[in-house]
Structure 1
Amino acid sequence: MQTLIELYPFYPALFIGGVVILGLLVGSFLNVVIYRLPVMMEREWQSECRYILDLADAAEDENEKSEKFNLAFPNSHCPNCKKEIKPWQNIPVISYLLLKGKCARCQNPISIRYPIIEAVSGFLSGILIWQLGMGYEVVAALLLTWALIALTMIDADTQLLPDQITLPLLWLGLICNAFGLYTSLENALWGAVFGYLSLWTVYWAFKLLTGKEGMGFGDFKLLAALGAWMGWQSLPIIILLSSLVGAIIGIALMILNNKGRDTAIPFGPYLAIAGWIAFLWGDHITRSYLQFAGLQ
């Protein structure tokens, strides 16, 4: 690692290009996580419910055992004709363009979201190394970025923020800052605590006033994780940015889709976007605002 850090100033374009390619490849895997993890969670919940209610059916259990389903199995295949996707048909972005967005066998359209997620993963990965340079900070930041991409899309699809991602993300932030990677461990610890409690307080206040749930517990955990990575000082800018972006996009979606105010809109994507922006440019945004307001 030390050798790579020393070589980076001489070949920055080479390193940035390599990280972009890595981000594209990881983006392809993120597509698998985004689709399969919620399905795996649903199957696990159904199994637990049958066990608790003593409704387990032998035939149904046998079918589940024969239909192994996880992040590694079955191999990627066309949902229409079930043909297994060959390695050369699964090259991030490039394969989609060469196949003209259609299955090689049945010509069923392939969703544009797959190459978009791959491209976003590669693009954001490249920005990270461009901004942070080569070092342990960028390695951990890449893991944070990829996790936030997965959480954003899963929450947008299902309104779920899986503990399988948010909780390891929280612990990883604390571990990184135990070595002072981004902030002190004390700041990270209180960032996790205040991040969770801030939205937890809003949740219960809203529920007591309206009798409705304004957000899910996954949002608390995600903000706690972001606080663990960046420290408690980052929480105000993250909450402000996420609320601003959420309000703008939420209103736009309600108008475009002709839906009422009671329509549930996931808050996780806005937290993830705001957290990523704050991770790279939070200090700059805060200083610029203070200067604009004449407070600095």
Structure 2
Amino acid sequence: MGIVELLAASPAALVAVCALFGLMVGSFLNVVILRLPRMLENAWQSEARVVLEMPAEQGERLSLIRPASRCPHCGTPIAPWRNIPVLSWLLLRGRAACCGKPVSMQYPLVEAGAGLLAAACAWRFGFGWELAAALVLVFTLLAAAVIDWNTQLLPDNLTLPLLWLGLLLNLNGFFAPLSQAVIGAAAGYLVLWSVFVLFKLVTGKEGMGYGDFKLLAVLGAWFGWPALPMLLLMASGAGAVVGIGMRVSGQLGAGHAMPFGPFIAAAGVLWLLLPIPPALVMP
């Protein structure tokens, strides 16, 4: 029996393989989370220098694959055997092997989260193209959520390809009929855009970013417009609970904004993975 036949025939083997695959992808997602905002900032600065007719800055070019992984503190390259997802962090007790400085808990949490999400997708969908699509969705949502939490930025590099992929997949009705997906993409954007405009008219302030509109449009494109009310309810409820908790604990000061994107992403993952009662979905 070949590996494909084994994975198709054995749910346990599929879950285990996907969990290991998710751990490895999680290690790469940490690179995306760390470098993509910096790459975008570098690109914006370069464009500004061109407009201002200033000379281009000379320096090391940063991409998702170059330079190789290095210590965030001292810049020492990380050996492959010290870059094993989760395990390396545990063995080194959360400290860099080169300089001994603490390494953020974000690294093992993202890796473990990607592994758990991949295993859950395998259990939910089984072997097939739906599983492959679900993995792309949860991995991208995880990266987008952490980037937004850290920087209050939802890169178009992540949201827009995911939007178009959702529409293309639903040409064959993978997760929703195409008509519902198209309307869902438009409605997802317009709902939060309308809230943004109304809030700005009333308060004179911007209550959320354009990336939030695009992220909800992504979920509309994947799951169709009937899912949007429940998705908004879950995201808003979770955001309110976390926000109040952070205010009470002093982790979120007055006048400081909390990103909404992570809660939209979490709602999308829950909708994907959990069986939603039909009564909670609009007809």
Give the TM interval when normalised to the shorter protein. Answer: over 0.9
Match of residue 48 from structure 1: 47
Secondary structure at 1:275 match in 2: helix
Letter in 2 for 1:27: G
User: Following superposition, which runs of at least 4 residues in structure 1 exceed 6 angstroms of deviation?
Assistant: none
Match for residue 158 of structure 2?
Answer: 165
2:58 match: secondary structure: helix
Distance 1:268 1:25 in 2: 24
Match of 2:243 in 1: 250
Partner of 1:13: 12
Aligned runs of 1:37-116 on 2, under 5 Å?
Answer: 37-54=36-53, 56-57=54-55, 61-64=56-59, 67-116=60-109
Q: Kindly state the Cα deviation for residue 256 of structure 1 after the two structures are TM-superposed.
A: 1.4
1:1-296 paired onto structure 2 within 5 Å: 4=4, 7-8=6-7, 10-54=9-53, 56-57=54-55, 61-64=56-59, 67-257=60-250, 259-281=252-274, 283-284=276-277, 287=279
Note if contact 1:101-1:110 (Cα within 8 Å) is conserved in structure 2.
yes
Q: Which amino acid in 1 is paired with 2:161? A: P
Deviation at 1:10, TM superposition (A): 3.4
CA distance in 2, matches of 1:232, 1:210: 29
Counterpart of 1:20, as a letter, is A
Give the drift of 1:63: 1.7
Alignment partner of 1:63: what SS? coil
Superposition deviation, residue 116 in structure 1 = 0.8
CA contact (8 A) 2:120 2:273 kept: no
Q: Shift of the alpha carbon at 1:7?
A: 4.3
- Aligned CA RMSD, in angstroms, stands at 1.8
More divergent stretch after superposition (260-269 vs 90-99): 260-269
Distance 2:275 2:230 in 1: 7
Superposition deviation, residue 172 in structure 1: 0.4
Cα distance, 1:105 vs. partner? 2.2
- Measured after TM superposition, the shift of residue 43 of structure 1 is 0.8
Q: Deviations over 1:219-258 (max 9, x none)?
A: 0000001100000011001000000000000111112126
CA 1:82–1:8: 2 relative to 1, 3 Å: closer
Query: Is the CA contact 1:234–1:282 (under 8 Å) kept in the aligned structure 2?
Result: no
Check the 8 A contact 1:237/1:282 in 2, yes or no: no
Distance 1:147 1:80 in 2: 26
> What secondary structure, in the 3-state scheme, does the structure 2 residue paired with 1:283 have?
coil
Contact 2:196 2:207 in 1 (8 A): yes
CA–CA distance in structure 1, aligned partners of residues 84 and 123 of structure 2: 24
CA contact (8 A) 2:6 2:13 kept: no
Structure 1 unaligned segments of length 5 or more: list them. Answer: 291-296
Matched residue type, 2:58: N
2 CA distance for matches of 1:266 and 1:105? 34
Identical amino acids, percent of aligned pairs: 49
C-alpha deviation, 1:53, in angstroms: 1.9
Question: Quick one: which amino acid aligns to residue 242 of structure 2?
Answer: I
For 2:127 and 2:156, how far apart are their aligned partners in 1? 30
Q: Which ranges of structure 2 fall in alignment gaps of 5 or more residues?
A: none
Q: Distance in 2 between matches of 1:209 and 1:88?
A: 55
Distance 1:175 1:82, change over 3 A: same
Checking the alignment, whether the CA contact within 8 Å between 1:182 and 1:229 is kept in structure 2 is yes
